[in-house]
Structure 1
Amino acid sequence: MARFSVIVAIVFLFVIAPFVSNATITCGEVVAWLTPCIPFGVFGGTVPPDCCKGIKELNAAQNTTMDRRIACSCIQEGAAAIPGINYDRINTLGDVCGSPCPYKVYPSTNCSA
């Protein structure tokens, strides 16, 4: 039984390896780039320059479909964890910063970037 589990694990790694190796960004990077946007997302007001800088860096880093999926999932999960986040407001950030996002983030939506 243990030998079978090892074989299944190895096959699984070979199946997902192409997807993992194509990703060039991490959820930690996404969080670091977008953390300066949180005050605007909750309270409104002026968009901090570091927020726009982070959005531009994030968009420049999304080179593959897997990158966009990772970014979308991280943003989706992160936004859901922030009390008082205004989804309509955060969805304007890409346009406000001059670096449009390839997807919109709302509660309970799936990422299909």
Structure 2
Amino acid sequence: MKGVVIFVLTMLVIAEFMVQPNEAINCHDVGGLLEPCLGFLTGGGIPSLECCRGLNTLKDKTPSTVDKQVACTCAQLAAVKYKVVDVFAKALPGLCGVTIDVPISTTFNCSTIK
């Protein structure tokens, strides 16, 4: 009986590790991280510190190709919705000092990200 209890407890522990919440990036995350950048992305000027922090966090949360493609698509949908000016979007990473493989663009083909 003791062996059965240990087996069941072991299986529960293994199941706990297998059912981890999905940590992949989603559009809600991307929107929240880039929201402080909206003023800059639509009107130019100087991006805020919060904007640059969000962009840096977006970089950290998109390590895989799939993450980058998903974030790119989310950013693109938001860029179209909020009428982001591509010139400002293209300038943002440089102004924030962040090298990121997730373009914010209304026209970029996100499936080409490798």
TM-score between the two structures when normalised by the length of structure 2: 0.72
Q: What amino acid is the match of 1:91?
A: K
Query: What is residue 64 of structure 1 aligned with on the other side?
Result: 64
**2:105 maps to what in 1?**
106
SS of residue matched to 1:107: coil
* Residue ranges of structure 1 left out of the alignment (5+ in a row): 1-20
Instruction: Look up the match of 1:86.
Output: 85
Paired residues in the alignment total 92
Alignment of 1:1-113 (within 5 A): 24-83=24-83, 85-111=84-110, 112-113=112-113
TM-score where L is the length of structure 1: 0.73
Determine helix, strand or coil for the equivalent of 1:91: helix
Using the alignment, how far apart are the partners of 1:104 and 1:28 within structure 2? 17
| Runs of 4+ with deviation above 6 angstroms | none
| Amino acid across the alignment from 2:37 | C
Q: Which residue of 2 aligns with 1:4?
A: none
Larger Rg belongs to? 2
Distance 1:52 1:68 in 2: 18
Q: Structure 2: any 5+ residue segments left out of the alignment?
A: 1-20
2:106 match: secondary structure: coil
Cα root mean square deviation, aligned: 1.9
| TM-superposed deviation, 1:26 | 1.4
